Structures are given as structure tokens and as C-alpha cells.
Structure 1
Amino acid sequence: MSLEKEDLRMKMLPDMMERLRLIADVYGKDYAHQSVILLEKAIMGEFHEVSLMLERANKNRKKRESLGLVGQVKASDQSQILDIKKA
């Protein structure tokens, strides 16, 4: 019994497709299966990076709240510097 998977179709640059075929040949897999493996690895790596960023942002938000800093941020008209006000 195989796992239920969703279908995904994509277009690749010809040189990327050749690289994919070469990688698949080296590992003895067909290129469609190898592309799934590589895409899943890339997604997991990116997901890990994003989850760390979100975790860091949440910790920083909690730290600001514990210091009494308000979560409202107001942009100055003359610059891109943001003002954070104390509660």
C-alpha cells in the first residue's frame, strides 16, 4: 500500500532538467521520483528555516511585552526608522 500523494506538475529550465536526469541516473531512480526527493528535501530545509524565524520572532515579541513595550509601531514620515513607545 502506497501513501496518498498529491499531483504536482512543473516546468524546468532545460539545463536544470539535464542536471536532474544526471542525478537520477547516478542514484538509479527515474527523474520524476528523484525530483520528488529533491523537492521534499528543499521544502523541509526551507520549512525549518521559516519555523526558526517565526520562533525567534515570537520570543522577541514576548521579550518586548515583558519589558513593557507596546506592540504598536508607528513609522516616521521623514524616514524608515520606526518608533516603539513604552506602555
Structure 2
Amino acid sequence: MQTNLSNQKAKYNLPDFLVGDVVVLTDPASSNELHEIEAFQPAEYYWLVGGGIVHRKDIRTATVAELNAKRRLTSAEQALAEVS
């Protein structure tokens, strides 16, 4: 029987983001700045370049439109960017 390795769970707690990934905070009231991942910490926390530590649930990968704008976009701006 063949095993499809892509469907297998990882043995170790691998990070969701890699060093150098650009992310934004999921809470729109927090900040509209882009942040870069500096390091992964145990228990699903990440150090950001310039200081600060966040839980993986509090960040998401920046979209292409946000990278071009060099800031976090509002949900309305993001919707416009997706259709243009």
C-alpha cells in the first residue's frame, strides 16, 4: 500500500509563518503597519522585527495589495483590490 506523504500530519510543531514573512495584525484597531517575522517561539508565538511578540492567531499573511500599499488595508479596500 502506498502512503501519500502530503496527507500525513507533521511529527513536530512546525510554524505557520517563516522568518522574513510579512504579516499584518488581524485586529484592525491594533495597527495598519506591515510586520516582518523575526523568529518562531514555542507555543505558537512569533517575534516581530523591531520588537513585539504575537500569537499566531493574531496575525495573518499580508496580501499582495497590502504589500504594494505598504500598509494593512481596510476590508473595503481589500475588497476593491480583489476585483481590480
TM-score of Structure 1 vs Structure 2, range by shorter chain: under 0.3
Query: Which fold has the larger relative contact order, with Cα–Cα distance below 8 Å and residues 6 or more apart in sequence?
Result: 2
Q: Considering only CA atoms, is the larger Rg found in Structure 1 or Structure 2? A: 1
- Which is richer in helix? 1
User: What is the TM-score when the length of structure 2 is the normalising length?
Assistant: 0.21
- Which is richer in strand? 2
